[in-house]
């Protein structure tokens, strides 16, 4: 089983969007049983809260199913359990390493690096632009899936 954990600041916008997009991509390809996909936060601010309404609205608009969930914070045990720990910006990458320790196993990635881009996925909590975030998340998840399938 290939285990992917998406990690953003609050686990209510970007990471949940990526979680549900990636689940849909593997479902469409008939390989969902090969993957375990989840998401987490680096901060404790939103712990227990459901996915942001803007993320839900965008997923609904794109026909991507989602479920009710509660934000959780990443732990060192998560680093050990997952094959890919995927952040969205430099702050996420820093905080993942602060919480989990050094990335000795080379598991921590930035989502858009899989698409060959050296930029961050903007946080729609601040920008209000769920369309742009979705475009980046979709592109990044497709590139991540291609990378995983090529390297498994």
Catalytic option among 14, 78, 136, 138: 14
* Residue 119: CB atoms within 10 Å: 11
Q: By the 8 A CB rule, do 13 and 42 touch?
A: no
Helix H or strand E encompassing 142: helix 130-151
Q: Is 14 a catalytic residue?
A: yes
Residue 79 phi/psi, 5-degree rounding, is -55, -45
- CA 124, 127, 129, 135 dihedral sign is negative
* Residue 17: CB atoms within 10 Å: 33
Q: By the 8 A CB rule, do 54 and 8 touch?
A: no
As beta bridge partners, residue 34 has none
Encoded tokens for 115: 């698409």
Catalytic option among 78, 89, 93, 123: 123
Q: Is 123 a catalytic residue?
A: yes
Active site residues: 8, 14, 123
């Amino acid at each position: 089983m290939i285990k992917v954990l998406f990690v953003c600041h609050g686990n209510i916008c970007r990471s949940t969007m990526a979680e549900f997009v990636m689940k849909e991509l593997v479902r469409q390809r008939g390989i969902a049983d090969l993957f375990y996909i989840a998401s987490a936060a680096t901060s404790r601010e939103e712990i227990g809260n459901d996915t942001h309404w803007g993320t839900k609205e965008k997923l609904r608009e794109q026909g991507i199913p989602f479920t009710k969930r509660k934000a959780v914070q990443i732990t060192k045990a998560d680093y050990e359990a997952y094959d890919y720990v995927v952040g969205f910006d430099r702050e996420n990458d820093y905080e993942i390493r602060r919480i989990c320790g050094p990335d000795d196993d080379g598991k921590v990635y930035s989502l858009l690096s899989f698409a060959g881009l050296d930029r961050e996925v903007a946080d729609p909590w601040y920008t209000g632009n769920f369309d742009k975030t979705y475009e980046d998340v979709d592109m990044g998840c497709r590139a991540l899936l291609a990378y995983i399938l090529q390297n498994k």
